[in-house]
């Protein structure tokens, strides 16, 4: 795990790899491709089926059954799902939750990681363990007292019209930050340990205050880790629906993932519309995944200890 | 709360110990206290305080309405759960079954795929992308995707079955003997890619010379993997074990969505769902739900502990 925790080391090993690739016989390679291709295709079937269903009009599928050749293909279901159910509004809620939560998580985690990895205070390991373990506690263990706590904590009117942390987007942002901070702290502190201490010691000798070391030296050097974590965390936070399911009462404040279940009964009355709605919800994460796949996977593997 | 104070106090106490570290000015110390104090406060208030409160509430009886109604009843909740709560033992059984299934099928399969993909073969990127894709989808979306496969009237599965052999429709998610399997397939669909990516990363750090040496000694693929690669990957193996255990214990979302979003259904009871059954909804038994949560926490602690020991043992040295 520590081998994967230091990206520079694993990267430097790549040039060796081509020499190591023992060429199997061409027949064995074909067999392997058939197997892997088959598995990959099998893995895509559920998704492709959803795409196929979503592209067909409801009238067509009722007449001919779902397992039939298409008589017509259109994006009508997507535009219906988009305009009838208020999906844009829920997407906006997701943005309002995801963006501050990711930024907050990274900022907090960076500060704690900096403290833990660049200084030799006595409680550092304990502190890091406290953060890391926090992320491993099952969410269901926290939810009851958290719900009660949210009903007690006030927020000013400009932040929450309920005047409470409960039933406000801020509440969801808070719990995401607190809960996800552990994982990011863990990854970032591993990363910061790979930055030579001499760099910041030189700055210290020059009389630079600690906050400048943090902002101007350490943070810029952590850019690759930030990119990886930001990708990973935005997908996780966007995808989450448990917190908002319990901590938000009003349906129209929910992010898209937890709103989806409500939309099913009210607006998405047939499987074609449901498929279209579900796929549209997935589009942002799929786009991020395709565009930033490298960051995503390296984020997952820098701290492959994500529980 | 007290930990905040100890942390900042220890920082001032600890720094004279260190000779290389030039003494921090008051401004530096204030900066460090603030930037660590705020996240720590957030962590303690929103994560550790609720976790401890759950433990406390598990010894009480409370309807969740007014705070003055909390009554201390000792171990009664636990006694009730173990002896007189019909869904409890099925839920435990299902959780164990979930763990065994995941540990025996998707996890080894993910490791197998990682081993197959960790060579210079063409299209490896495409294969990885396809198999890992379910992992980036929200479980809410995964739920809907499988819903339109399992649906007895309109789903793909029954469509295929009735095309091959006309006859009965199987209610995959409604039948209490089948629905856990149906959910496990959907969950394994996600889990395989996760394990594959984690293991691939581990294999990247594996010294290829060892594999070559084994090949020179005449070991075949299976022998090389079982005798050379697997033992050398011990840290990754532990991580994967912990991930598998944690995911099996925490399983909630996918069951919740495929169960129709109403709590636990016959055949699909899980500890995590029993907790929400007891604390959300009209008749909330907070103490009861908390006791269930504590049981879940205790079981998870084994996995959390293994993970922490594995991770931090090296750092203590």
Instruction: Please name the CATH architecture into which domain B87-316 falls.
Output: Orthogonal Bundle (1.10)
* Res. A5: pLDDT tops 50: no
Mean pLDDT of the region B254-268: 81
Mean pLDDT of the region B162-182: 83
Predicted confidence at residue B100, as pLDDT, reads 95
Mean pLDDT of the region B62-78: 83
* B136 touching chain A per CB within 8 A: yes
Say if residue A52 is in the same domain as residue A146.
Answer: no
Q: Of A137 and B19, which is predicted with more confidence?
A: A137
Are the Cβ atoms of B14 and A121 closer than 8 angstroms? yes
Predicted confidence at residue A68, as pLDDT, reads 80
Predicted confidence at residue A303, as pLDDT, reads 56
| Tens of pLDDT, residues A108-150 | 999 999 999 888 888 888 999 999 889 889 898 898 889 888 9
**What does the block give as tokens for B11?**
């920082």
Mapped onto helix, strand or coil, the DSSP state of residue A150 is helix
Say if residue A68 is in the same domain as residue A189.
Answer: no
Highest mean pLDDT among A146-160, A247-261, B35-49: B35-49
Residue A291 inside a domain? The answer is: yes
Say if residue A70 is in the same domain as residue A172.
Answer: no
Residue A210 inside a domain? The answer is: yes
Which of A39, A74, A109 terminates a domain? The answer is A74
Residue A18 inside a domain? The answer is: no
Are the Cβ atoms of B24 and A210 closer than 8 angstroms? yes
Say if residue A214 is in the same domain as residue A109.
Answer: yes
Say if residue A267 is in the same domain as residue A291.
Answer: yes
Q: Which residue in chain B has the smallest CA separation from A249?
A: B280
Which CA distances in Å does A54 have to A48, A58, A72, A274, B299?
10, 9, 12, 8, 42
Residue A163 inside a domain? The answer is: yes
* Res. B23: pLDDT tops 50: yes
* B216 touching chain A per CB within 8 A: no
Packing angle, helices A87-118 and A271-291, rounded to 10: 30
Predicted confidence at residue B102, as pLDDT, reads 95
Say if residue A219 is in the same domain as residue A287.
Answer: yes
Are the Cβ atoms of A36 and B116 closer than 8 angstroms? yes
Say if residue A91 is in the same domain as residue A145.
Answer: yes
Mean pLDDT of the region A63-72: 80
Mapped onto helix, strand or coil, the DSSP state of residue B230 is helix
Which of A18, A49, A74 terminates a domain? The answer is A74
Per the structure, the count of domains in chain A is 2
Q: Select from B125, B30, B97 the least CA-distant residue to B267.
A: B97
| Helix-strand-coil split of chain B, %, nearest 5 | 75, 0, 25
Instruction: Give the pTM.
Output: 0.85
Say if residue A55 is in the same domain as residue A125.
Answer: no
Q: Of A47 and A27, which is predicted with more confidence?
A: A47
Predicted confidence at residue B74, as pLDDT, reads 87
Give the residue numbers spanning the domain of A176: 85-302
Residues of B (50-89) whose Cβ lies below 8 Å from A: 50-51, 53-54, 57, 64
Q: Of A46 and B27, which is predicted with more confidence?
A: A46
Predicted confidence at residue A55, as pLDDT, reads 92
Predicted confidence at residue B131, as pLDDT, reads 94
Highest mean pLDDT among A167-171, B22-26, B233-237: A167-171
Phi then psi for B60, rounded to 5 degrees?
Answer: -125, 170
* Res. B11: pLDDT tops 70: no
Segment (H or E) for B50: helix B49-57
Residue A80 inside a domain? The answer is: no
Q: What is the spatial distance between Cα A137 and Cα A278, in angstroms, rounded to a whole number?
A: 29
* Residues paired with A164 in a beta bridge: A154
| Tens of pLDDT, residues B195-222 | 998 898 888 877 778 888 888 888 887 8
Mean pLDDT of the region B155-177: 81
Say if residue A41 is in the same domain as residue A174.
Answer: no
Q: What is the spatial distance between Cα A233 and Cα A235, in angstroms, rounded to a whole number?
A: 5
Which CA distances in Å does A271 have to A51, A88, A278, A281, B274?
11, 20, 10, 15, 29
Are the Cβ atoms of B279 and A144 closer than 8 angstroms? yes
Contacts of A101 in chain B (CB under 8 A): none
Q: What is the pLDDT confidence band of residue B10, given thresholds at 50, 70 and 90?
A: very low
N residues, chain A: 307
Computed over every residue of chain B, the mean pLDDT equals 83
Mean pLDDT of the region A83-109: 93
Highest mean pLDDT among A11-20, B25-34, B41-50: B41-50
Residue A159 inside a domain? The answer is: yes
How many other CB atoms sit within 10 Å of the CB of residue A161?
A: 12
Is the separation of the CB atoms in A181 and A105 below 8 Å? Answer: yes
State the CATH number of the domain containing residue A104. Answer: 1.10.3720.10
Q: Which residue in chain B has the smallest CA separation from A209?
A: B28
Highest mean pLDDT among A254-263, B47-56, B64-73, B263-272: B47-56
Say if residue A91 is in the same domain as residue A40.
Answer: no
Is the separation of the CB atoms in A275 and A50 below 8 Å? Answer: yes
Which CA distances in Å does B63 have to B1, B74, B151, B281?
28, 16, 37, 11
Residue A2 inside a domain? The answer is: no
Q: What is the pLDDT confidence band of residue B311, given thresholds at 50, 70 and 90?
A: confident
Q: Select from B239, B205, B210, B237 the least CA-distant residue to B223.
A: B210
Predicted confidence at residue A261, as pLDDT, reads 76
Alpha helices per DSSP H over A6-123: 7-13, 17-20, 26-55, 58-64, 76-84, 87-118
* Res. A104: pLDDT tops 50: yes
Say if residue A47 is in the same domain as residue A168.
Answer: no
Q: What is the spatial distance between Cα B69 and Cα B60, in angstroms, rounded to a whole number?
A: 10
Say if residue A126 is in the same domain as residue A268.
Answer: yes
Q: Of A190 and A268, which is predicted with more confidence?
A: A190
Segment (H or E) for A162: none
* Res. B22: pLDDT tops 60: no
Mean pLDDT of the region A29-55: 92
Contacts of A208 in chain B (CB under 8 A): none
* Res. B16: pLDDT tops 50: no
| Tens of pLDDT, residues B90-126 | 999 999 999 999 999 999 999 999 988 887 788 888 9
Mapped onto helix, strand or coil, the DSSP state of residue B71 is strand
Residue A205 inside a domain? The answer is: yes
Predicted confidence at residue B216, as pLDDT, reads 86
Buried b (16+ CB within 10 A) or exposed e, B113-141: bbbbbbbeeeebeebbbbbbbbbbbbbbb
Q: Of A7 and B142, which is predicted with more confidence?
A: B142
User: Which ipTM score applies to this complex?
Assistant: 0.83
Mean pLDDT of the region B40-65: 91
Mapped onto helix, strand or coil, the DSSP state of residue B61 is strand
**Residue boundaries of the structural domains of chain B:** 2-57, 87-316
Q: What is the spatial distance between Cα A225 and Cα A160, in angstroms, rounded to a whole number?
A: 33
Mapped onto helix, strand or coil, the DSSP state of residue A164 is strand
Mean pLDDT of the region A269-277: 86
Which of A13, A40, A74 terminates a domain? The answer is A74
Computed over every residue of chain A, the mean pLDDT equals 83
């Amino acid at each position: 795990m520590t081998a994967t925790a230091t990206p520079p080391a694993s990267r430097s090993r790549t040039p060796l790899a081509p020499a190591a690739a023992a060429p199997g016989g061409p027949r064995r390679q074909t067999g392997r491709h058939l197997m892997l291709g088959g598995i990959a295709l099998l893995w895509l079937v559920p998704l492709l089926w959803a795409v196929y269903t979503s592209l067909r009009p409801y009238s067509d599928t009722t007449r001919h059954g779902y397992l039939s050749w298409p008589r017509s293909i259109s994006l009508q279901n997507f535009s219906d799902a988009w305009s009838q159910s208020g999906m844009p509004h829920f997407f906006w809620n997701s943005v309002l939750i995801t963006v501050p939560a990711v930024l907050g998580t990274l900022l907090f985690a960076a500060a704690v990681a900096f403290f833990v990895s660049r200084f030799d205070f006595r409680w550092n390991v304990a502190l890091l363990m406290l953060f890391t373990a926090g992320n491993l506690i099952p969410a269901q263990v926290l939810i009851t007292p958290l719900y009660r706590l949210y009903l007690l904590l006030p927020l000013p009117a400009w932040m929450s019209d309920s005047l409470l942390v409960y039933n406000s987007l801020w509440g969801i942002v808070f719990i995401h930050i607190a809960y996800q901070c552990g994982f990011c702290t863990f990854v970032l502190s591993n990363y910061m340990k790979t930055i030579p201490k001499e760099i910041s010691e030189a700055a210290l000798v020059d009389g630079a205050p600690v906050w400048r070391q943090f902002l101007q030296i350490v943070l810029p050097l952590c850019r690759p880790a930030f990119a990886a974590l930001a990708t990973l965390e935005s997908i996780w936070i966007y995808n989450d629906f448990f917190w908002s399911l319990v901590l938000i009462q009003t349906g129209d404040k929910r992010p898209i993932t937890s709103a989806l279940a409500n939309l099913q009964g009210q607006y998405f009355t047939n499987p074609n519309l449901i498929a279209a709605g579900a796929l549209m919800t997935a589009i942002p994460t799929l786009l991020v995944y395709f565009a930033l796949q490298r960051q995503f996977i390296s984020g997952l593997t820098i701290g492959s200890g994500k529980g | 709360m007290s930990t905040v104070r100890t942390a900042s106090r220890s920082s001032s106490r600890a720094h004279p110990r260190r000779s290389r570290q030039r003494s921090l000015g008051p401004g530096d110390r204030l900066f460090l206290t603030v930037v660590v104090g705020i996240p720590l406060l957030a962590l303690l208030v929103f994560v550790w305080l609720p976790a401890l409160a759950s433990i406390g509430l598990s010894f009480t009886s409370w309807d969740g309405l007014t705070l003055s109604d909390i009554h201390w009843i000792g171990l009664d909740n636990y006694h009730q759960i173990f002896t007189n709560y019909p869904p409890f033992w099925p839920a435990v059984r299902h959780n164990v079954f979930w763990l065994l299934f995941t540990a025996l099928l998707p996890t080894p399969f993910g490791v197998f795929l990682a081993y197959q993909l960790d060579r210079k073969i063409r299209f490896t990127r495409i294969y990885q992308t396809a198999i890992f894709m379910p992992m980036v989808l929200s479980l809410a979306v995964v739920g809907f995707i499988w819903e339109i496969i399992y649906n007895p009237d309109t789903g793909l599965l029954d469509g295929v079955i009735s095309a091959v052999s006309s006859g009965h429709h199987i209610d995959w998610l409604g039948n209490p003997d089948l629905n856990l399997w149906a959910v496990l397939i959907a969950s394994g669909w996600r889990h395989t890619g996760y394990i594959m990516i984690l293991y691939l990363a581990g294999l990247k750090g594996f010294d290829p010379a060892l594999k070559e040496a084994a090949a020179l000694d005449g070991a075949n693929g299976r022998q090389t993997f079982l005798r050379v690669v697997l033992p050398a990957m011990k840290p990754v193996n532990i991580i994967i074990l912990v991930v598998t255990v944690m995911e099996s214990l925490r399983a909630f979302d996918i069951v919740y969505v495929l169960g129709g979003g109403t709590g636990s259904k016959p055949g699909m009871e899980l500890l995590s769902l029993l907790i929400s059954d007891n604390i959300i909804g009209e008749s909330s038994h907070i103490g009861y739900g908390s006791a269930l949560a504590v049981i879940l926490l205790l079981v998870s602690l084994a996995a959390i502990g293994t993970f922490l020991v594995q991770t931090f043992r090296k750092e203590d040295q």
